[in-house]
Amino acid sequence: MNLYEAIIVSDELFDLQIGYVKFSNPIALAPMAGVTNSEFANNYAKNAGLAVIGGYNLDGETNIAAKTLVGKGRDEFITDTPLEFLENEAKAINIGGAVAFNVRSTTLEPLLKAAEIIKNAGGILELDAHCRQDEMISIGVGEALMTDIPRLAEWISKIKETGVVLSVKVRANVVDDIALARTIENAGADILHLDAMKEGAGADLSAILRIRDSTRLFLIGNNSILDFDDAKEMFSRGADMVSVSRGVLQDPYLIDHLVEEVSLLQEQIGWYNSPKHVCRGEGDLRGLAFCCLPVKPCAVHNKAGQLGYSPKEFANIKMEFAKGTPLEFGDSTCFGSLVWCCKISKPCYLRDGVLDLLDLSAADYMKLKKDLATYILDNAKKPVNEF
């Protein structure tokens, strides 16, 4: 399959939708102040499932702060007519995927006006709770929102009343990540865009995992993605989508390559962001779909317990799902049913023999496992955003 073919079939491969927004694939362009505008997205993110452009300053104070930053050599978008500028950007962008507008304001009113413009354009509003520049934090925007939880929750709630699909961009390891994620979810946001930043090089993959295990929000992972191996590490910790920023400046075709690779993976295994096994210590709660029957002490007890399941209840919920599906079969497997079998990437002649007998492809098997994971989470006695 060549790049063109991979991009053409991606619409059929992925079932990713939030409200009125559908994503053709799970690769996104991340916002970079003063860089990622409509022109940049048109040039570098034509095939992305999502392009997040901005950040755009929506009021006088943020524009003044941006001017100060420009004076210090930092790129910023500055305008005396921010809402008109935003409308023009919405009209100018021309990509195959969805569009989000990363915005910041010291007051709520410009955000509400921007939400109406963005909703009418079929886009996503992304609230910037991420910028760490002192000039922005000092006026109460960017990271300042992460440390003012009541204001952040109120703004999310008010913005959602407009009906816009809402993303919130945050940075890991600044405040309590789990408390922050739950606040954002409970306030009504649709998407959490997480910069998994840590001290030193590379992304904090454990932050992705922690948040996946504490929220059902659509999760976009960001930071240090330079190739598909980096993307897979985030996907396997629970990211629904990954976003790239400075990597595009190094490789203008990075997004195209990532779209091709993830499309190939989805075609082959049917669950592009399938989790690692729980027993490896790196699997999120979705990995319970691959766990063995809990007949001896192991990691499955702790993970199932997080959802309020006793070992017996966990066994029952998996068998309940399996009834009437191909996962019900597999007398020759270790525990007598495919429902207890592991991820397709782990070699197993017993499992594969049953799949051959049932004429069940690896992709169809993994799609069933994905549905099983959702079923386990949906029927939990203790939902992930409460324990």
**If pLDDT is split at 50, 70 and 90, which confidence band does 12 have?**
confident
Residue percentage of the chain with pLDDT more than 70: 97
pTM (predicted TM-score) = 0.95
**260-278 pLDDT, tens digit each:** 999 999 999 999 999 999 9
**75-103 pLDDT, tens digit each:** 999 999 999 999 999 999 999 999 999 99
Residue 230: CB atoms within 10 Å: 20
pLDDT at 11: 58
Domains of the chain: 16-269 (3.20.20.70), 278-379 (no CATH)
Q: How far apart are CA 292 and CA 296, in angstroms?
A: 10
Q: How far apart are CA 28 and CA 52, in angstroms?
A: 7
Q: How far apart are CA 307 and CA 320, in angstroms?
A: 17
pLDDT at 5: 41
User: What is the token pair recorded at 331?
Assistant: 């007398």
Least confident interval from 134-138, 200-204, 275-279: 200-204
> Which class for 169: exposed (0-12), middle (13-18), buried (19 or more C-beta within 10 A)?
buried
Q: Do the Cβ atoms of 363 and 268 come closer than 8 Å?
A: yes
The candidate with the shortest Cα–Cα distance to 194, out of 214, 169, 176, is 169
Q: What mean pLDDT comes out for the span 313-334?
A: 97
User: What is the token pair recorded at 242?
Assistant: 């990954």
**141-175 pLDDT, tens digit each:** 999 999 999 999 999 999 999 999 999 999 999 99
Q: Is 308 left (phi over 0), alpha (psi -120 to 50) or beta?
A: left
**If pLDDT is split at 50, 70 and 90, which confidence band does 199 have?**
confident
- Preceding omega of 287 cis (within 30 degrees of 0): no
Pairing of strands 165-171, 191-195: parallel
pLDDT at 387: 53
User: What is the token pair recorded at 374?
Assistant: 């959702």
pLDDT at 296: 85
pLDDT at 152: 98
pLDDT at 10: 47
pLDDT at 281: 84
The candidate with the shortest Cα–Cα distance to 100, out of 85, 115, 110, is 115
Residue 50 has pLDDT above 70, yes or no: yes
Q: Phi then psi for 340, rounded to 5 degrees?
A: -100, 0
Give per-residue burial for 70-82: e unless 16+ CB within 10 Å, then b. Answer: eeeeeebbbeeeb
- The 3 state secondary structure assigned to the chain is CCHHHHHHHHHHHCCEEECCEEECCCEEECCCCCCECHHHHHHHCCCCCEEEEEEEECCHHHHHHHHHHHHCCCCCECCCCHHHHHHHHHHHCCCCCEEEEEEECCCHHHHHHHHHHHHHCCCEEEEECCCCCHHHHCCCCHHHHCCCHHHHHHHHHHHHCCCCEEEEEEECCCCCHHHHHHHHHHCCCCEEEEECCCCCCCCCHHHHHHHHCCCCCEEEEECCCCCHHHHHHHHCCCCCEEEECHHHHHCCCHHHHHHHHHHHHHHHHCCCCCCCCHHHCCCCHHHHHHCCCCCCCCHHHHHHHHCCCCHHHHHHHHHHHHCCCHHHCCCCCCCCCHHHCCCCCCCCHHHHHHHHHHCCCHHHHHHHHHHHHHHHHHCCCCCCCCC
- What residues form DSSP beta bridges with 196? none
Q: How far apart are CA 259 and CA 262, in angstroms?
A: 5
Pairing of strands 21-23, 16-18: antiparallel
